[in-house]
Structure 1
Amino acid sequence: MELELRHLRVICTVADTGSVTKAAARLGLAQPALTAQLNRIERALGGTLFERDRRGSRPTPLGELVLARARMLLPAVSELREEAARLANSAGEDTAHYRIGATNGPMLGGLMHHLGAARPQARISPQSSWSADELTDLVAAGRLDYALVGVCGESAPPAAAGVRWRLLAVDPVFVLLPEDHPLAGKDEVDLSDLAEARWSATPGDGCFGDCFAAACARAGFAPRDLYETDVVSCVDLVRSGDAIALCQPTFREMPGVIPVPIAGIPLRWRQFIGWHSGCQSPEEVARLAGHALSAYADVLARSPRYTDWLAGHPGFGMN
């Protein structure tokens, strides 16, 4: 195995936290996975880097040597990346390339539109995923420049070395009902009124499923089946009356279905943009975040029901 920069970050994190368990939490990895990775690094370097016991992990003489070199190399590489990114982004429209990943959310298409209008010669490469963790890892590895993700409630976005996040918007979660549903014409619905419903939602990692189950429990019932499927299938299930979908309030209205607020706002969804601090300049991050917020404003303009809801609910919408 050849030693890579990510291996040096692992060594520094273990030393900084004094524990493989704490280092795994900071890096967003499972503890067994980090232990296995550390063992491979030690084999590649030819010796033990840390003395590990119930009191924690302390560097060996070899570990001290590697740490000293790593603490010089990592800042130097981060500085190199930042300077290279600034040079690339200032070198002209024809050389700019933006690799942007997104989970299921309202901003990616509009962000591409606004970015393309501002930099018409730039290359834009989008990538979609159900997993915020996957996109975060790609940003950390330098394979994506930015990620647009959503997280449930007060949960933090995924953690990865070097990845930073900016909050863009806070939205409630609505329910998507068939247009002929008895509750479809209401300004909001009580979750308890949907106790007998079957449910559908788009898949993803994080705690949303647990938060939904907890919200149902507070409303006095346990939800029936929750079908995790793509957006089109969710809409089809709702339109046919086979399920009710959990949806973002920015959902573009379609024939046969209506998004309706849930009374008491039991579920929230926060929209973030992420980037690698060593690869993007603050000025470039601010520009991309601005384009993302412009895309969000476009979505609001097409969502009169949600715009009306926001007027009576300060603290939601754009951050």
Structure 2
Amino acid sequence: MRHLRVLCAIADAGSVRKAALRLGMSQPSLTTQLRRIENAIGGRLFTRERTGSRPTALGRSVLCRARPIVAEMAALVSEARSAAALAGGARLRIGSTASRAVAGWVRRLRERYPGAETGIHIDVSANSLLQTVADGQVDVAFVHEPEGFPLRFPPGVEQHVLIDREPQFIALPQTHPQAGRRVVDMADLADDQWIVDFTADGEWAATRRAFATAGLNPRMVHVPDNTTAAALIAGGEAVSVCQPVSQQRQGMVIRPLRDDPLAVRLLLACRSDSPSAAEVGGLHADLMAAYAEVAWASPAYRWWLLRHGSPLLPPPEGGPAPSGADGPPEHVLAAVPGRLRAARRPAPHTTAPGVPRARGGG
């Protein structure tokens, strides 16, 4: 590897003298080393000219093979050092917008890096999180990007897609006339008061666009606190857009919206020059596993995934076999793992547990 680096350095510098300066060697020492390399190969690799050193035909052939090897070795050393730093007690700082997947992600990261201290930073603003990544305050961030309203990625921050399109669901009071339906039309919620968090980047704009497309102008209320929002919904005072992995609380139900008018893209972000960039494959895999875990634990989302034949989220190993009203079509069942295809399909016209079926339900 040392000899290959020497050849690349001479070619990149354009002369033995400049290459010696870059390598921290004397020019005579580098010249002697080059001659030894040429003797071992059996031919001249560079020609000396007044303007410097140029590769011969043999030299160009050797360099074509040498450069990828040198680059791969440099990447290997960088990744190994990053892994060693994390495993050796370093601090891993993760950021996220609100998501039930974070707890499972942290658990998996602690298993992957048992000696690393894991810090957590939660922010309602995805753009603020991306800036903390750019500033080096957070190593990696899990963010939600509303469809049609791109986030602002600072220079040097790279993105890795977790889920290209996650549908957004609706949280309803359990006593709501639409609570018994499997799928809810936005038009049937026109007379309801909607909870929206105006501080979440793009959430209000995306919701307003969906209202305009449906020809609706419902009443809005700004509630940034999840506890208060849940109490208002359970008390029959409002409805709210929610993540499909949201936990269904007492007094409320969670349902998909017909035709999925609202969606977000789930992204993992990190600085391209940070140690976490070399570890992004493992960080992404752990987050994906955590997301799949909470996705398949949600009855409404599990039903939606099977209904749409999503190959994105295989059920976690050892997890419960999904089930849903009316069952997925046969071509959808063929796309999911075999042990799910073997599961018995429920009887037609089944409703969600504990929820009465409304007349003409969706």
Instruction: State whether structure 2 residue 99 is matched by structure 1 residue 105.
Output: yes
1:145 offset after TM fit, Å? 0.1
Tell me the residue number matched to 2:219: 224
In structure 2, how many angstroms separate the alpha carbons of the residues matched to 1:184 and 1:92? 47
State the percentage of identical aligned residues.
29
- Structure 2 counterpart of 1:277: 272
Residue type at the aligned position of 1:103:
T
Return structure 1 stretches of 4+ with deviation > 6 angstroms: 82-85
Q: Is the 8 A contact 1:252 1:302 kept in 2?
A: no
- For 1:289 and 1:147, the matched residues in 2 are separated by 10
Change (3 A) 1:178 1:316: farther
The 2-side partners of 1:116 and 1:203 are apart by 34
Matched positions, count:
239
Q: Conserved in 2, the CA contact under 8 Å of 1:172 and 1:316?
A: no
Question: Could you tell me which residue of structure 1 aligns to residue 247 of structure 2?
Answer: 252
Q: Partner of 2:301 in structure 1?
A: 306
In structure 2, stretches of 5+ residues that fail to align are: 1-73, 315-362
In the TM superposition, residue 282 of structure 1 has moved relative to its aligned partner by 4.9
Query: Is 1:94 equivalent to 2:92 in the alignment?
Result: no
The answer (yes or no) to whether the contact 1:164–1:276 under 8 Å persists in 2 is: yes
SS in 1 for 2:160: strand
- Report the TM-score when normalising by structure 2: 0.61
- The residue that corresponds to 1:114 in the other structure is 108
- Structure 2 distance, partners of 1:316, 1:106, is 21
Give the drift of 1:206: 2.9
Specify which of 182, 188, 193 is matched with residue 188 of structure 2: 193
C-alpha displacement of 1:281? 5.5
1:187-211 CA deviation, whole Å, 9 max, x = no partner? 1111011001111134444322122
Query: Residue 131 of structure 2 is aligned with which of 131, 137, 158?
Result: 137
Q: Which has the higher contact order (CA 8 A, sep 6+)?
A: 1
Q: 2:230 aligns with which of 235, 251, 264?
A: 235
Q: 1:173 to 1:316 in 2, by over 3 A?
A: farther
Cα deviation for residue 112 of structure 1 reads 0.2
Structure 2 residue 263 is the aligned partner of structure 1 residue 265: no
**Root mean square deviation of aligned Cα:** 2.4
Which of 282, 285, 297 matches 1:287?
A: 282
Deviations 1:8-63 (A, max 9, x none): xxxxxxxxxxxxxxxxxxxxxxxxxxxxxxxxxxxxxxxxxxxxxxxxxxxxxxxx
Change (3 A) 1:137 1:287: same
For 2:234, give the aligned amino acid.
Answer: R
Match of 1:158 among 141, 152, 156: 152
Q: CA deviation at 1:288?
A: 0.2
Structure 1 unaligned blocks of 5 or more: 1-79
Secondary structure of 1:114 counterpart: helix
Contact residue 201 and residue 234 of structure 1 kept, 8 A: no
Shift of 1:253: 1.6
1:318 Cα deviation after fit: 4.7
> Displacement of 1:180 after TM fit?
1.4
Give the number of the structure whose alpha-carbon radius of gyration is greater.
Answer: 2
- Alignment partners' CA distance in 2, 1:316 and 1:134: 32
